[in-house]
């Protein structure tokens, strides 16, 4: 009797908190292509899964025990110890020189950011509350802010400008998104930015150390770093709007860690 041993592919977690297109149905095929490339180059076989909800990502980690992932810095800082995460690389977004977040409100609202303490702030990162409060907003609004989850940032800005019934008091968004909205002929004149964060850590390639198994970590890391120098790899990076994977800015990540864990 012939016995066939089928080895299950290792999990590869992709998390983009609050991103409406970061679902398995929409982005699954794209991230699977990236995972397959990294697997082929490092002698591994990956099964990619993408989420926009940290709670679902946690469930996936508990059940599937992925050895690697690409996650938000907020997720990493929150669960690094619990999940045994180790940051390997950072992902540089295309056409984004620095990762910053901007607090946007109506033109007639106060300019003083402290006036938004206790107000409702809509943001795709609502599920990463401690990261928003301590790292992005640097505790300038205390812990009394009410974060409202939103995946359609532009729609939220329309509600804000129109003073709709359920409109938030302000919206926390990526600076790159704000640059586009501020140039919009309709929305730009009705809105303004009252706060811009410091440079923030980029999304991180992480290792789940307890689940590594036989994965060749050095080969895996090198396969991602070399993608931007390979035509096939570069094409895949373009599909996920990443310019390159590079070494982590340790000073920037340490600064975020200190703010996140400050009491």
- Chain segment 70-104, per-residue pLDDT in tens: 999 999 999 999 999 999 999 999 999 999 999 99
* C-alpha closest to that of 125 among 105, 148, 107, 142: 148
Q: Is the confidence at residue 10, as pLDDT, over 50? A: yes
Whether the pLDDT of residue 2 is over 50: the answer is no
Mean pLDDT of all residues in 37-62: 96
Do residues 83 and 61 touch, judged by C-beta distance below 8 A?
yes
Q: Which residues contact 64 (CB under 8 A, 6 or more apart)?
A: 11, 49
**What percent of the chain is predicted at pLDDT more than 90?**
92
- Using an 8 Å Cβ cutoff, are 171 and 150 in contact? yes
- Band the pLDDT of 263: cuts 50, 70, 90: low
Token pair, residue 201, equals: 């850590």
Average pLDDT, the chain: 94
From 173, 201, 196, 194, select the one nearest 258 (Cα to Cα).
Answer: 201
Please give the average per-residue pLDDT across 21-50, as a whole number: 95
User: CA geometry: angle at 33 spanning 32 and 39, to 5°?
Assistant: 85
pLDDT at 139: 92
State residue 4's pLDDT score.
41
Q: Which domains does the chain have, with CATH numbers?
A: 10-94+201-261 (3.40.190.10), 101-196 (3.40.190.10)
Q: Which helix (H) or strand (E) holds 257?
A: helix 250-261
Helix (H/G/I), strand (E/B), else coil: 98: coil
Using a 10 angstrom Cβ sphere, with 0-12 exposed, 13-18 middle and 19 or more buried, the burial of residue 95 is: exposed
Residue 3 pLDDT > 70: no
Q: What is the pLDDT of residue 5?
A: 40
Q: From CA 146, how far away is CA 227, in angstroms rounded?
A: 40
Which DSSP state fits 83? H
What pLDDT is recorded for position 142?
A: 85
- Helices in 138-247 by DSSP H: which ranges? 153-162, 175-182, 217-225, 231-239
Over residues 243-259, the pLDDT tens digits come to 999 999 999 999 999 99
pLDDT confidence band for 144 (50 / 70 / 90): confident
Predicted confidence (pLDDT) at residue 141 exceeds the cutoff of 60: yes
Q: How high is the pLDDT of residue 123?
A: 97
């Amino acid at each position: 009797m012939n016995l066939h041993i089928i080895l299950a592919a290792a999990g590869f977690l992709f998390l983009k908190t609050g991103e409406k297109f970061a679902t398995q149905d929409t982005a699954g095929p794209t991230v699977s292509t990236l995972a397959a490339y990294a697997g082929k180059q490092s002698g591994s076989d990956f099964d990619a899964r993408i989420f926009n909800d940290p709670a679902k990502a946690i469930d996936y980690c508990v059940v599937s025990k992925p050895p690697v992932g690409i996650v938000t810095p907020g997720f990493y800082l929150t669960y690094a110890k619990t999940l045994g995460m180790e940051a390997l690389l950072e992902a540089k977004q295309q056409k984004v020189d620095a990762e910053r977040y901007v607090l946007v409100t109506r033109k007639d609202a106060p300019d003083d950011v402290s006036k938004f303490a206790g107000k409702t702030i809509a943001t795709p990162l609502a599920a990463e509350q401690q990261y928003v409060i301590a790292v992005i907003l640097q505790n300038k609004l205390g812990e009394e802010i009410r974060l409202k989850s939103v995946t359609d940032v532009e729609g939220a800005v329309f509600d804000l400008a129109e003073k709709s019934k359920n409109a938030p008091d302000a919206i926390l968004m990526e600076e790159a998104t704000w640059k586009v909205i501020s140039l919009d002929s309709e929305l730009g004149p009705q809105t303004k930015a009252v706060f811009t964060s410091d440079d923030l850590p980029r999304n991180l390639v992480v290792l789940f150390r307890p689940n590594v198994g036989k994965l060749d970590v050095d080969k895996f890391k090198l396969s991602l770093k070399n993608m931007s120098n390979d035509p096939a790899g570069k094409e895949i990076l373009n599909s996920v709007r990443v310019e390159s994977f590079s070494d982590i800015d340790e000073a920037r990540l340490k600064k975020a860690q200190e703010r996140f864990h400050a009491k």
